[in-house]
Amino acid sequence: MNAMLPAFGCTAGGIDFDVALQRILDLVDRPLPAEAVPLESCVGRVLREPITARVDLPPFDQSAMDGYAVRTASLIAGAVTPVTGRTATGEPPSRLAACGVHRVLTGAALPDGADAVIAQEHVRRDGDLLTAAAVPPVGTNIRRCGEDIRAGTALLYPGATLDWRHIAIMASQGFSAIQVSRSPRVALLSTGRELCAAGQDLAAGQIHDSNGPMLGALLTAWGASVRRVPIVADNPATMRAALRAAADGVDLVLTTAGISVGDEDHVRDALDALGGNLAVLKVAMKPGKPLAAGRLGRALFVGLPGNPQAALAGALGFVRPLLARMMDAVPPGSLQICAEFALRRTPGRTEFILARLVRRGDAFVATRTGSDGSGRLAPLLTADGFVLLPASTAHVAPGDVVTFVPFLSCGDRPR
């Protein structure tokens, strides 16, 4: 038998979703180690060091326009003034002559003594002479040293999942390599005799494996390094061999299908035979009650159900937070949003309902995407995520605030 944890939180239909999630997160003893990675390769990686601004941005007072730097106190509107100097972008700052104006280009260092820049379209230039129709207010078209970012300011915190914005900010501060979590190594197995890999012709009774490619894409987007294992047939010996090999050298083994107790469900028996230890066997959720998680050798193990929507709900509900915990990332966020649908149901299971965000006036609300059968793939195309109903919910009325779990992560901003 599987070595199960005490049955607290357990109901006949499986343990509570929240209890299952906690047990799965508790499987992580310590986060994966950090490693130095070149900035350009850090998209999707989790930051493990605080990032503090090293330099002021901009690092010097500079012109925000192609134009003329002036000293407003000595400029006379309508009078002809000589252009006495020029600073191009990238040149060191110079000095503004006592009674002149100074040609500057966008981003060029403001000459000492200047306190405004007049855009070139607002002057008349004739050879080296210039006439300004008006004297601008002090500070016009000047970007002050440090007005964007001040050296010493805390910019990013450990736990941030890095995207192009973070890369830009860190590049502006001269960082070339940073400490991020090592990517979790995940072995991904699709199990089932009926499965046929992409590119192969379907035999009678077969379907193409869609869970493997779907989960591979999701895991990669969530920062994992994925090793796809060839499809595993429903056969006890094959299953054992595949799981044993898969667990070698990875942090997580993730399977889909074959996790229930049907005649052709062999994943749990194979795990038992290999000395696996399951902390979760069944979860009171819909879709996807047969969902197992625990340890297999030195790797963690999650067995998702085979129906695509159930596999997806399990991946979003458990695997995404698990990966975040492994990488020491801020947990993925959810939204609170008004439902636009009505629903009555028997309480008892946490339910994942496919939903789309639609705009109503100034706000977005969640609508259902139609028939949800957990084996269906097509409704995913028009959905933006799942509405997550707690086990205790018996009904939803239009206008009720519900929890929305977006397919794209959001709100995972540290502090």
Cα–Cα distance for residue pair 1/268, rounded to 1 Å = 9
For residue 100, give the amino acid letter: G
Residue 307 Cβ vs ligand AMP, minimum distance, rounded to whole Å: 4
Q: Which SS3 state, helix, strand or coil, does residue 371 take? A: coil
Q: Does 158 bind ligand AMP (CB under 6 A)?
A: no
Print the binding letters for residues 247-266 with Mg ion: x by CB under 5 A, - otherwise. ----------xx--------
Q: Does 195 bind ligand AMP (CB under 6 A)?
A: yes
- Distances in Å between the Cα of 16 and the Cα atoms of 12, 240, 255, 366 are 10, 29, 21, 25
Residue 258 Cβ vs ligand AMP, minimum distance, rounded to whole Å: 5
Q: Which is nearer to ligand AMP, 296 or 311 (CB)?
A: 311
Cα–Cα distance for residue pair 238/261, rounded to 1 Å = 17
Q: Which of residues 241-260 bind ligand AMP (CB under 6 A)?
A: 256-258, 260
Q: Which of 11, 210, 235, 277 binds ligand AMP (CB under 6 A)?
A: 210
Cα–Cα distance for residue pair 385/31, rounded to 1 Å = 28
Instruction: Tell me how crowded residue 149 is: count the other CB atoms within 10 A of its CB.
Output: 18
Q: Does 58 bind ligand AMP (CB under 6 A)?
A: no
For residue 33, give the amino acid letter: P
Closest residue by beta carbon to ligand AMP: 306
Q: Does 400 bind ligand AMP (CB under 6 A)?
A: no
Print the binding letters for residues 172-191 with ligand AMP: x by CB under 6 A, - otherwise. ------------------x-
Q: Give, for 328, the enclosing helix (H) or strand (E).
A: none
User: What residue 305 binds from Mg ion, ligand AMP, none (CB within 5 to 8 A, per partner kind)?
Assistant: ligand AMP
Question: What's the token pair of residue 103?
Answer: 């040609």
User: What residue 372 binds from Mg ion, ligand AMP, none (CB within 5 to 8 A, per partner kind)?
Assistant: none
Cα–Cα distance for residue pair 207/193, rounded to 1 Å = 10
Count of positions on this chain that bind Mg ion (CB under 5 A): 3
CB 156 within 8 A of CB 170: yes
Residue 40 Cβ vs ligand AMP, minimum distance, rounded to whole Å: 34
Residue 191 Cβ vs ligand AMP, minimum distance, rounded to whole Å: 7
Q: Which is nearer to ligand AMP, 53 or 267 (CB)?
A: 267
Q: Does 306 bind ligand AMP (CB under 6 A)?
A: yes
Q: Which SS3 state, helix, strand or coil, does residue 117 take? A: strand
Phi, psi of 385 (to 5 degrees): 170, -165
For residue 228, give the amino acid letter: R
Residue 231 Cβ vs ligand AMP, minimum distance, rounded to whole Å: 8
Q: Does 308 bind ligand AMP (CB under 6 A)?
A: yes
Peptide bond into 305 cis (omega under 30): no
Q: Does 287 bind Mg ion (CB under 5 A)?
A: no
Q: Give, for 169, the enclosing helix (H) or strand (E).
A: helix 164-172
Question: What's the token pair of residue 65?
Answer: 């326009």
User: What residue 308 binds from ligand AMP, Mg ion, none (CB within 5 to 8 A, per partner kind)?
Assistant: ligand AMP
Residue 357 Cβ vs ligand AMP, minimum distance, rounded to whole Å: 26
Q: Does 194 bind ligand AMP (CB under 6 A)?
A: yes
Q: Does 212 bind ligand AMP (CB under 6 A)?
A: yes
Relative to beta strand 363-368, strand 350-360 is antiparallel
Count of positions on this chain that bind ligand AMP (CB under 6 A): 19
Cα–Cα distance for residue pair 14/349, rounded to 1 Å = 9
Q: 336 forms bridges with which residues in the sheet?
A: 403
Instruction: Tell me how crowded residue 90 is: count the other CB atoms within 10 A of its CB.
Output: 9
Q: Which of residues 174-213 bind Mg ion (CB under 5 A)?
A: 192
Q: Which is nearer to ligand AMP, 134 or 207 (CB)?
A: 207
Q: Which stretch binds ligand AMP (CB under 6 A): 90-98, 205-213, 326-334, 355-363?
A: 205-213
Residue 206 Cβ vs ligand AMP, minimum distance, rounded to whole Å: 9
CB 285 within 8 A of CB 313: yes
Cα–Cα distance for residue pair 228/226, rounded to 1 Å = 6
Peptide bond into 58 cis (omega under 30): yes
Q: Which is nearer to ligand AMP, 56 or 194 (CB)?
A: 194
Q: Which is nearer to Mg ion, 45 or 268 (CB)?
A: 268
**What number of CA atoms fall less than 13 Å from residue 50's CA on the CB side?**
7
Residue 36 Cβ vs ligand AMP, minimum distance, rounded to whole Å: 37
Instruction: Tell me how crowded residue 332 is: count the other CB atoms within 10 A of its CB.
Output: 19
Binding residues for Mg ion (CB under 5 A): 192, 257-258
Binding residues for ligand AMP (CB under 6 A): 190, 192, 194-195, 207, 209-212, 256-258, 260, 262, 305-308, 375
